[in-house]
Amino acid sequence: MFAVKKRFSGLLLMLAIIMILSACSNGAGSSAAEQTATGTESASGSTEATTESSTDSGTSASATRIYKSLSGDVEIPAEPKRIVTDMYVSDLLALGVKPVGAVNYYLDNPFYADQVADVEGIGDRGAVSLEKVVELNPDLIITYSADAEEIEKYQKIAPTVVIPYGTFTNVHDEIRGFGELMNKSEEAEAWLKSYDESIEASRAKVKAVIKPEETFSILEVSDKSYYGYGDNFGRGGQAVYRALELAPLEITKKELMGDTQWKEISREVIGDYAGDHIFLTVSEGNANYQGDAIWQNLPAVKNNQVYELQEDRYWYFDPIAIQGQAEEFADMIVERAQQNRK
């Protein structure tokens, strides 16, 4: 009986030890969890812009920051690696960032086509394939869409920043805005320095052959009429009036350089909108445009100062395209001036 009691006492002792060890283990786990929670709270409280989540091994799994967009605060990756955008390819490329997917129209931009050969198309404007976007597994989506339903679908795929069409009205604000979004302000300033040098060189070329009072118009020919354009609607407007600072007609400033940037113009009154020089956007079917008697009597036509622009090259008006167009326009003007002097 003594032996039984002794064995029983031993079992009780072992049980007590096991219970104590178990309690200690549970307590240590609780303490570690509390420390992790406290540490996270402290980190998020010290900086509103950045938060970080870690794995059990202590390796950083992801870091995010808050971007204050026009539509509200958005938590985005601190260093996004897989960006999908419908429109803003040029702005990303200027900062040294290549998206993994974009709308086909913007991937066809001839001014940076050589830089996006391996970027996936996600469909056309107004017909983006959400399935393709999902397939690309983006960690950030940048869109100009104003469609609330479309934006909501994007947000279910990845953090989404909405930059409405027309948010930026000049190249400098646009590139700096994207520099802030991508946390690449130094890269933005470096690109703008190069841009400014290029534009200054192009302006100098033009000033050498054009008098300050000479005026420039941007027109487009269609089957039954013409269209006139201002300084913020493609067709080279940003390059002509903003980058090169060429002079518009007073009627252009009044009617086409505000909220309204284009208008249809009947053939009978085209002379009112035709400056000393005309940049004329044409389709393949209208190349080498001869026009009617009214067109042939325009001073710009008589003086051989009409510069034809193929539509699919000069519709674009992103920062990289504007720089390229300004360089091309300067060369066109100089070459034509030299031809006319002979």
**Residue 151 forms part of a structural domain:** yes
Do residues 135 and 260 share a domain? no
User: pLDDT, tens digit, for every residue of 142-157?
Assistant: 999 999 999 999 999 9
Using alpha carbons, select from 300, 149, 145 the residue that is nearest to residue 219: 300
Q: Is residue 321 part of a domain?
A: yes
Average pLDDT over residues 42-64: 45
On the question of pLDDT at 9 being above 90, the answer is no
Domains held by the chain: number: 2
User: What are the backbone angles phi and psi of residue 66, rounded to the nearest 5°?
Assistant: -100, 125
Instruction: Please check whether residues 222 and 163 belong to one and the same domain.
Output: no
Q: What is the pLDDT of residue 34?
A: 30
Note the pLDDT of residue 342: 81
Residue 183: inside a domain, yes or no? no
- Same-domain check for residues 142 and 209: no
User: Is 33 inside any structural domain?
Assistant: no
Do 211 and 93 share a structural domain?
no
Do 64 and 75 meet the contact criterion of CB atoms below 8 Å apart? yes
Chain mean pLDDT for the chain:
86
Considering the domain architecture, whether residues 84 and 209 belong to the same structural domain is answered as no
Q: With 90 as the cut, is the pLDDT of residue 124 above it?
A: yes
| Cα 311–Cα 261–Cα 68 angle in degrees, nearest 5 | 100
Pick from 113, 142, 167: which residue ends a domain?
167
Same domain, 125 and 253: no
**Per-residue CA distances from 7 to 12, 14, 16, 19 (Å):** 9, 11, 14, 19
Alpha-carbon distance values, 280 to 15, 59, 111, 173, 318 (Å): 94, 59, 19, 28, 20
Q: What is the H or E stretch that residue 105 is in?
A: helix 104-107
Check pLDDT > 50 for residue 315: yes
Residue 27 lies inside a defined structural domain of this protein: no
Which amino acid does the sequence have at 82?
Answer: R
Give mean pLDDT, residues 326-342: 96
Q: What is the CATH number of the domain that holds 156?
A: 3.40.50.1980
Q: What is the DSSP pairing of strand 83-85 with strand 101-102?
A: parallel
Of 138, 167, 196, which residue is a domain's last? 167
Same domain? For 227 and 327 the reply is yes
Query: Looking at the structure, do residues 216 and 153 belong to the same domain, yes or no?
Result: no
Distance between CA atoms of residues 75 and 68, nearest Å: 9
How many Cβ atoms from other residues are within 10 Å of residue 233's Cβ?
17
How high is the pLDDT of residue 71? 83
Asked, for residue 55, whether it belongs to a domain, the answer is no
Q: Give the end of a domain, one of 147, 167, 187.
A: 167
Report CA dihedral (217, 218, 221, 224) to the nearest 10 degrees. Answer: -60
Any idea which of 39-43, 131-135, 189-193 has the lowest mean pLDDT?
Answer: 39-43
Determine the structural domain holding residue 89 and report its residue range. 64-167
Are 305 and 244 part of one and the same domain?
yes
Contact at 8 Å (CB) between 121 and 107? Answer: yes
Instruction: Indicate if the pLDDT at residue 206 is higher than 90.
Output: yes
Report whether pLDDT(122) > 60: yes
**Distances in Å between the alpha carbon of 325 and those of 65, 170, 238, 278?**
36, 15, 9, 15
Residue 172 lies in a domain: no
Q: Are residues 230 and 308 in the same domain?
A: yes
pLDDT at 12: 39
pLDDT digits (tens, 9 = 90+) for 152-176: 999 999 999 999 988 998 999 999 9
**Range scoring the smallest mean pLDDT among 17-26, 279-288, 292-301, 306-315:** 17-26
Q: Read off the pLDDT of residues 215-233 as tens digits, 9 standing for 90 and up.
A: 999 999 998 999 999 999 9
Residue 44 pLDDT greater than 60, yes or no? no
> Is residue 135 in some structural domain?
yes
How much is the pLDDT for 126?
86
3-state secondary structure of 4: helix
Compute the distance between CA of residue 150 and CA of residue 157 in angstroms, rounded to an integer. Answer: 11
- For residue 92, is pLDDT > 70? yes
